[in-house]
Amino acid sequence: MEGEEIVNIQKLFEMQKELDERIIREHGLEGQDLLPNTVLALQVEIAELANEWRGFKHWSHRQTPEVETEVCDYCGEDVDYTRPSPFLANAGASMCKACWDMTQTEYAASNGEYIPDFEDYPHFVKKVPYKMLMEYVDCLHFFLSVARQIKYPLDDLIHLHAENLEEGPLVYVFIELLQHVGWLALHIHPEVRKRAFEFAFVGFVNLGKRLGFSPEQIEQAYLEKNQINHERQSTGY
């Protein structure tokens, strides 16, 4: 499970250590075993991450994470993505995928004109689901806190990630991740706890990759949230 560093874990670990020590000092928590609380907090954050992912919500019409929306100039709907209209007469107008697909099917078929697929566009860029990314780094905060509390070696943590992405439905990745995290509080033997952490953290890294987050996005989001967490301590959150 070793390999190249995915983010600057050492930098983030030290930042998390500073935040944790501040919380312990300002809340008078010296000498207390905070691992059960931290493990439960991590499980809650994983659940909140799943809630933003939405892929398990078979009862909902939306099973994709929320991104910044745009307005389609043709149907007037708020949508996740638009692209420029294919019609020269409507230059500058934006068209959503539903309108684009209808145009591709009906207009192109009747006129014999080739219209590419919606995402076949040089400037089409996948948006970052910001809320989901922030939930992911909330999880990372608690993973780093757990690593510190169980005294997991930083040198090992730096190189701890999956060499190959785990396949299969993401819903099972979430379920297994929650299970492995739970073991961190239920097993007291150091080696068992260390092994549980490795399984959990590798699964977490794998999840981030499958959600489409880059190391740069994760690190920047962590820095933003770490600053927010310090501000919360200063304002009596």
Instruction: Give the per-residue pLDDT at 187.
Output: 82
119 within some domain: no
Instruction: Name the DSSP letter for residue 166.
Output: P
Residues 74 and 190 occupy one common structural domain: no
**Ramachandran angles phi, psi of 212, nearest 5°:** 90, 15
Residues 25 and 43 occupy one common structural domain: yes
**What is the distance between the alpha carbons of residues 57 and 98, in angstroms, rounded to a whole number?**
22
Residues 37 and 80 occupy one common structural domain: no
With 90 as the cut, is the pLDDT of residue 198 above it? yes
pTM: 0.81
Residue with the larger pLDDT of the pair 103 and 30: 30
Backbone CA torsion sign across 153, 154, 158, 161: positive
123 within some domain: no
Backbone CA torsion sign across 140, 141, 145, 148: positive
Q: What are the structure tokens assigned to 159, written together?
A: 């190189």
Q: What are the structure tokens assigned to 213, written together?
A: 């987050």
Residues 53 and 104 occupy one common structural domain: no
Residues 162 and 189 occupy one common structural domain: yes
Instruction: Give the per-residue pLDDT at 3.
Output: 43
**pLDDT tens digits, residue range 131-156?**
999 999 999 999 999 999 999 999 89
Residues 34 and 142 occupy one common structural domain: yes
Torsion of CA 143, 144, 147, 150, to 10 degrees: -90
Q: What percent of the chain has pLDDT over 90?
A: 64
2 within some domain: no
122 within some domain: no
177 within some domain: yes
CB atoms within 10 A of CB 139: 23
Q: How many domains does the chain have?
A: 2
**Strand 70-71 with 78-79, pairing:** antiparallel
CB atoms within 10 A of CB 222: 24
Q: Are 161 and 202 in contact (CB under 8 A)?
A: yes
**pLDDT tens digits, residue range 202-230?**
999 999 999 999 999 999 999 999 999 99
For residue 144, the domain's CATH number is 1.10.4010.10
Residues 80 and 37 occupy one common structural domain: no
**What is the distance between the alpha carbons of residues 36 and 51, in angstroms, rounded to a whole number?**
23
**What is the distance between the alpha carbons of residues 236 and 208, in angstroms, rounded to a whole number?**
31
**What residue numbers bound the domain in which 100 lies?**
70-111
